Structures are given as C-alpha cells and as structure tokens.
Amino acid sequence: MSGRRPTEPTEADPRPGAAPVAATPPRHPLPARFTVLLGYLVVPMALSGTTIALPHVATTLGGSGEALQWVLTGYFLAASCLMLVAGSLGDLFGRRRVYRIGAATYVAGTVACALAQDVLVLDVARTVCGIGAAGIMAGGGAILAQTFEGEARTRAFALVGTSVGVGLAFGPTLSGWLVDAFGWRAMFGAFAAAALVVLLGTLLSGESAAATRPRLDLPGAATLVVALAALMWGLNQVTGLGWTSPVVLGCLALSAVAFAAFAAVERRREFPIVPLSLLGDRRFAGWLVAALTTAVGTAGVLVYLPTYLQSAGGVSPGDTGAVMLAMTLPILVTPPLAGRLVTGGASPRLLIAGVMALFAAGNAWLTTLDASGVPPVLGPLVLIGIANGVAAGIVDAQAMDLVPAERVGMASGLLHTMRGGANTLVVTLFGAALVSVVQAGVGDRALAGRVVAGDPAGPDRAALVAEYTSAWQVVLWCVAALCALAGLAVHRMLRPHDRP
C-alpha cells in the first residue's frame, strides 16, 4: 500500500465532520521526505552543539554570563512559544509555506550568528533561529502527517525520531570538531549551509492546507504566546533568583492569568487555535501525557548527570560525553524498531505503557549511582535511552491518527510545545529539588547551589559528595514514581472507546 495520500485537488478526511483539505502532490516524494527529515536533523544538531561554542564565544565577544546564557534561553523561548502558532498557521495558509518560511528565517538567523560582532547581536540572532525552528519543527510534522497515513505514517515518524536522535547525539561532536578546526563562526556557517539545503528542498514538496480558511484566531494566539513566554521566562529565572523572587512569582502569576484568558477566548471562538474538544479527547490526551512523561524520564538526567559524574565521580569531560552516549545512542535504532512493532500488529497502548515502565525502572536503577563514577550508571542510561527511542518512534504518529486532517499542523505544534514546556519545567524542578535536598543536609542554600553546580571542593568534600549523591537518589525515586503513575494513567486513557 502506498504511503501517500490521494493527490486529487482536495482530500476528504474519513473522520465525521472533517473539513476537506486542499493539497498538491510532492513533485518528487522521496526528496520531499528527505527535506523534512533533514530539518529534523539539522535543528536538534545545532541546538545540542551550540553549548560547545559558548566558551569560545565568550573569549571572542566577551559579555556577562547572563548574556551568554541568552544564546540558549532566547532560542528556547522563541521556539517553545511559537510552535503551536506556527502549526496552526500551516493549517490555514499551507504547511509547506510555514516550513519554508521557518527554514528561511532559520538560515537568516544562523548567518547572523556567524557574523555577529557583539554578544547581544548574537542573542537576538539566536532568538530569530528559535522562531525559524518553530516553523521547521511544527511544519515538518504536519507535512508528514498530511502526506502519509496508516503504517506509512508510523514509519515516517519513526524516522523523525531517529533523525532527532542523531542530531542530538552527534551535534556536540561535530560542533566541537568545527570549533576546534575553524572556529565558532564556521560552526554557525556550516549549520546555515545545511539549513539552506532544507530551504531549497521545499521546492520539491507539495502544498496542503484546509480548503476552508477561517480567520486566524489572533486573540487566542496572543494570549497563548504571553502565557508560554511568561511561564518559560519565570522558570528560567528560578535557578538564579529562587522560587520566592518577585520576578519569578510575577511571571508565574502572569502566565496563570494569560492561560485562563486563553481558555476563555478559545471557548468563544468558532475556529479556535486549539480546539478544547481535542484536549478533551481521552485518547489524544493520553498521548500528550506520554509525551510529557518522556520529558520527565529523560530531561533531568540528561542535563544534570554529566555534572555529577565529573564533580563527584572524577570522570573527565571526554569520558563523561562517552558515558552519556549510552543514553543517546539507543534512539538511533529503537524508533524504527518501535514503528515495525506497531505496523506488525503490536498494541501501541501496551507498548507505550511498557515505555513508561522502562522510564520508571531506569530512573529507579540509577539510584545505585555513587562516587565510583561510571559503572553504576551505564545500565540505567541504556534503559532510559531505549524507552526514549521507543516513545519517539510511536507517540507523534499515534496522536496524529486521532486528529482531523485539517488540524494536523496544530497537533504537530501542540506536541512540540508540550515537549518544550515539559523539558523546561522538568529541568528547573529537577535542579531545584537537588539544591533543596542538599540544602537540607548542609544547611546552606548557597553552598548547596555550588555543590549541584559541580563544585563540592573543600575540607568536607567527602561529606558534600555524600549529600549530593543522597539528593540524586531522592530525586530519582520521585521521578521513577511519577513515571510509573503516568504509565498507569496512560494505559487507562488509551483504552478503546466503549461501544454504544
């Protein structure tokens, strides 16, 4: 059976009440698919590799630590806040068009990064890159969802999982080589060239959009962007200012008010940017919970474990990178395997429940970590990596199968927005929890923050490392429990609808 949808001028979605979708076929289906997958490779690769360049950027451009941090923070804020809007715009005005605009914006931003002569200019350029990434990530998923269906859609999204995994795993290695050999400007130049290939590849893709184009839900889009921006900004300030800071509390309060306004606006809109009825669909909500749980099971370990291994275990930076490959390498092979299991008849419901159990088991197993360094963490990291890969191979495709064809852009943007928000929240809460538990043992928050940041030096180093290890064990048990409970919830939410 062919993976492509019929190529008549309009397509009728088989779901009751679905609107027709205007479409033109890809001129060359394989290059079009390659273009989307290349976008899913380049953007994560540049994201994970940019951190390698920051020390060299500091040497060249100077700037405060906060200004340098905005090289990453500005990107995350822009991408996370705009993915859902970008996906919905694709439904209205064309998924290829949004993907193409996103790629063009990303190229422009990355070129500006390579040419930046001031760190503030670099911050703005990276924020522009985040805007472009929102169009690429949301538009790419929508293109695949509209182009493929059934088993072909499952295989396509499994390849997306592999592409993202390759980008995240090898971005630091490639970026490190480029920075060492040619400098950090050459690194951004290389990513700009790759993104230009993505942009040119859109010439080979067909266009699709809802045949009926309602007016854009501007009030919904505006309140959603304000809510997400305030939430992300507030969470990013927690590490430096603490949860009780007026800035943090003010941002979180503004976010809550904006989310409430967004919900009120969406209930009154004939064509809302996010149909609340979709969020009320038990099975679609189940796949959203699965996507959120993936962040819970992976984000904290991925961000904070390298610091623990180096500061408490005495592992070198190079060896730490090699150890973390135990978590990232499985995603190179497990998404296609998961896709084959589903197309071969395996129950997606049981498979994703098993994934949640693997996340719980991996984090629970990781509580055996200690100052001896590498041996205790390898097995748990492999288990978490396998779970992450399987989730990447099935979640998006299964969620998209529950969405009418005219709203696949919105659904793609929603999934990416939920992941981005969840990753930010988990990283913030994970770090804050580590600091709080260490503080309970040492009695000094400043000292606890220094230990979690990777500096347990001093006459009581052994005691500080012991407190640090104990904090890790407490937090990991909490993560394991959350993943286990989420697995039970997802298994129940994904049960078949009762027959009338």
Give the whole-angstrom CA distance, residue 125 versus residue 129. Answer: 6
Are residues 74 and 113 in contact, defined by beta-carbon separation less than 8 angstroms?
Answer: no
Both tokens of 165, joined, read: 């995994």
Q: Are 271 and 213 in contact (CB under 8 A)?
A: no
Helix (H) or strand (E) holding 10: strand 10-11
What are the beta bridge partners of residue 22? 10, 209
**pLDDT tens-place values along the chain, 500 residues long:** 444 443 333 343 433 334 444 445 444 556 667 888 888 899 888 887 787 777 788 788 876 656 776 787 788 888 878 888 888 887 777 888 889 999 999 999 999 999 998 888 998 999 999 999 999 988 888 888 777 777 777 787 888 888 887 887 778 778 878 888 888 899 999 999 999 999 988 887 666 655 566 677 788 888 988 988 888 888 777 766 778 889 989 999 999 999 999 889 888 887 787 787 778 889 999 999 999 999 899 988 887 888 888 888 888 877 777 888 888 888 888 988 988 898 888 999 999 999 999 999 999 999 998 877 677 889 999 999 999 999 988 888 888 888 877 777 777 788 888 887 788 788 878 888 888 899 888 888 788 888 887 788 777 888 888 999 999 999 999 999 999 999 999 999 998 866 54
Q: What interhelical angle do 150-182 and 119-147 show, nearest 10? A: 160
Same fold, 25-212 and 274-495: yes
Fold of the CATH domain 274-495: Growth Hormone; Chain: A; (1.20.1250)
Task: Please give the Cα distance from 248 to 239 (Å, whole number).
Answer: 10
Distance separating alpha carbons of residues 46 and 450, to the nearest angstrom: 29
Find, among 351, 357, 358, the residue nearest to 381 by Cα. 358
Residue 217 has what DSSP assignment? -
Cα(143)–Cα(413) distance, rounded to whole angstroms? Answer: 12
- Going by CATH, does the domain composed of 25-212 fall within 3.40.50.2300? no
SS3 state of residue 209 = strand
**What is the number of other CB atoms lying within 10 angstroms of the CB of residue 277?**
9
> d(Cα 315, Cα 318) in Å, to the nearest integer?
8
HSE-up of residue 6 (Cα within 13 Å, Cβ side): 9
Residues 6+ apart with CB under 8 A from 60: 184
Where are the domains positioned within the chain? 25-212, 217-271, 274-495
DSSP state of 148: B
Residues paired with 138 in a beta bridge:
none
∠ Cα 460 463 467 (to 5°): 135
